[in-house]
Structure 1
Amino acid sequence: MTKDKLFFDYLKDVNQGFEGWDFSYISEAGRMGNELLSWSYGSMAKPLVQNAQSMLDMGTGGGEFLSMLRPFPKKVCATEAYKPNVPLAQNKLEPLGVEVFPIEEDTDLPFANKQFDLIINKHESYSPKELRRIISDHGIFLTQQVGGMNDAGINEGLGVPINDEFSYWNLETAVSELSNHSFEVSFSKEEFPIERFYDVGALVYYLKAIPWQVPDFSIEKYIEKLYQIHQQIKSVGYFDVKQHRFVICAKAI
C-alpha cells in the first residue's frame, strides 16, 4: 500500500525531545486530549499539604506538579527514580526548599521511621510495607495511580499483548494491599476516561515517552499498524483508547 506524505511527516514527531513529565508538545497544540475524571488529585492534595508538618512527594518527575502546591510545610522531600528527571527536579524544587532524593527501589527509601505525616504519590509505584514504615501514625497517604489496563487500545491497535507485569494493578488490589499494611481507606474511586489522539504523530510521540506500554516499539516494526491507525484518523478524525485511573486516600492506623 502506498503511504501518503502526511503520514511520514507525522512520524518525524518521534524525534522530538521529551523531558520531565510534560506532554505539552502534543496536548497544548490540541493533538491529544483526555476526558476529565470525576475527581481532582490536585484539589485533594492542596489542602492536605497546607495542613501537614512534613511531607513526601513520591515520583516527583521534574517537580512540575509539586511546585504548584505551595506554600509548603517546614519539611518537604521528594523522590525520583528516573535518572534524567533528577536534575530537572533539583533545579526546580531545591530553590523552594525541597530536598530531592534519587532512588533505586521502592522497598528501600532513604528516610527514617514515621518521618512524614503526609505522603502524596501521583502515578508512581510504591511498596505498602515501606510506605507504612516512613509514614507517621495517623498520617495521610494520597495516591492517584495508572491502572494495569491503561491505554490497552494502543496495544490492540498495534497487535501487541498487554504487559502482564502490570495487568493485575487495579483499585481492588491496591485497597487490599494497603488494608493489609495498617492503612484505613477513607476514599477511593476508579474510572476509565477516554484518551484521544488526533494524528498518528501525537501517538508515536506519546509512545516514545511511555516505553513500558509497548516495550519493543519502533516505527519500523509497527509501520503497517501505524498506517492503519493513520487511515482511521483520516476517516473518523481521531483514535480513541481508554485510560485506567484510580485514586485512594488512606490513613495510617
Structure 2
Amino acid sequence: MDTDAQFMDYLKDVDHDFTGWDFSFITGTGRMQTQLLPWSYGSIAKTAIQQSKIMLDMGTGGGEFLSLLRPLPDHVYATEGYEPNVAIAKKRLEPLGVKVIEFVDDAILPFDNGQFDLILNQHESYSAIELHRISSSGGNIITQQVGWTDCYQINDKLGVPLNEDPLNEDFQNWCLEKALEELEGSGFKILESSEAFPVQRFYDIGALAYYLKAIPWQIPDFSIQGYMNELYNVHCMIKEKGYFDVNQHRFLIKAEAR
C-alpha cells in the first residue's frame, strides 16, 4: 500500500465508536502507549476507599474506574458532567449501589456541608472552596489532574495554540503549584503531591485522529478535512521515525480538610 492510500485508510478510524472513557480501540492493540507514572492513582484510591464510610467520585466518566475499586463503602456517590456518559455510568454503577448525579457547575455541587470523608477526582475540574465545603473535618481528597501543557506537541504539529480558549481561562497555567496554592487557601492540609510528564506515543496517524476526536478540548475545531495537510505531515514523520511522541502533564495531590 502506498503512503497516500495507507494514510487515508488510517483516517477511517476517526469514525470508530467511542463511549464512556474507553481508549481500548487504540491502547488494546498497542497503537497508542503511555509511559508509566511514578505513582498509582488507583492504588492510592483503593487504600483510601477501604477506610471510607461515605465517598464521592467526581467525573466518573462511564464509571469504568470506580467499578474496578470494589468493595466500595455503603454510601457512594458519583458525579458526571458529560451528558452522554451519565446513562452509561448509571447502567454500570447503580447495580453496585452507587448514586450517579449529573451536574454542570463545579461551584455548586448538590451535596450537604461536610458530607464526605473521601472525595476522588481523576482528571475532573473542581472548585477548591466547594470541595472543602462538602468534605468532613479530617476528610481526604485525592485528585490526579491533567496539567495545562498536556500533549502540547500535538498542538505544535497541527498549528493550534495551546489552551487559549477564553471560556476556559482557569486551565491556563494549570499545574501542581497553582493547585496546591488553591487547596491550601481553601482550608486543606497537603499530605502528598507529585508532578510528572510521561511520554505518550502514537504509532500511526489513525490512532492520533481517533484520540483527537475523543478529546475535543485538545484541538477544539478538529476535523479530518480541516487538518488534512498537518495530519499528513505527522503521518510521514511516523513512517520515517516509527512513532510520534508527546508529553502528558499529570500531577497528584492528596489533602486533608481542616
* TM-score, with structure 1 as normaliser: 0.98
Residue 42 (structure 1) aligned with residue 42 (structure 2):
yes
Q: Distance in 1 between matches of 2:3 and 2:96?
A: 50
Give the alignment of 1:220-239 within 5 angstroms.
220-239=225-244
Provide the secondary structure at the position in 1 that maps to 2:64: coil
Trace 1:1-253 onto structure 2 (pairs within 5 A). Answer: 4-164=4-164, 165=169, 166-253=171-258
For residues 149-185 of structure 1, what are the alpha-carbon distances to aligned partners after superposition, in whole Å with 9 as ceiling and x for unaligned? 0010000010111013323100000000000000000
Q: What is the distance in 1 between the residues matched to 2:73 and 2:81?
A: 23
CA contact under 8 A between 1:3 and 1:227: conserved in structure 2? no
Alignment-mate amino acid for residue 80 of structure 1: E
**What secondary structure, in the 3-state scheme, does the structure 2 residue paired with 1:6 have?**
helix
Q: Secondary structure at the match of 1:69?
A: coil
* CA displacement at 1:189 relative to structure 2: 0.3
Counterpart AA for 1:179: E
Q: Partners of 2:116 and 2:224 in 1: how far apart?
A: 44
Task: For 1:57, give the aligned amino acid.
Answer: D
SS of the aligned residue for 2:83 comes to coil
Letter in 1 for 2:109: L
For residues 202-230 of structure 1, give each alpha carbon's deviation from its aligned partner in whole angstroms, at most 9, with x where no partner exists.
Answer: 00000000001000111111111100100
> Structure 1: which amino acid aligns with 2:147?
G
1:233 and 1:239 in contact (8 A); partners too? yes
Per-residue Cα deviation, 1:91-132 (whole angstroms, up to 9, x for no partner)? 000000000000011111111110000000000000011101
Task: State whether residues 115 and 136 of structure 1, in contact with CA within 8 Å, keep that contact through their aligned partners in structure 2.
Answer: yes
Write the distance in 2 (CA, Å) between the matches of 1:49 and 1:134. 17
Percent sequence identity is: 58
Structure 1 stretches (4+) deviating beyond 3 angstroms?
Answer: none
* Cα distance, 1:73 vs structure 2: 1.0
State how far apart, in whole Å, the 2-side matches of 1:91 and 1:220 are: 36
Structure 1: give runs of 5+ residues left out of the alignment: none
Q: Count how many residue pairs are aligned between Structure 1 and Structure 2.
A: 252
SS at match of 1:212: coil
How much has 1:3 moved relative to structure 2? 5.8
Distance 1:21 1:247 in 2: 20
Structure 2: segments with no counterpart, 5+ residues: none
Check whether the contact 1:152–1:241 (CA below 8 A) recurs between aligned residues: yes
Paired residue type of 2:67: S
Length-normalised TM-score, structure 2: 0.96
1:143 and 1:247 in contact (8 A); partners too: yes
Q: 2:100 corresponds to which letter in structure 1?
A: V
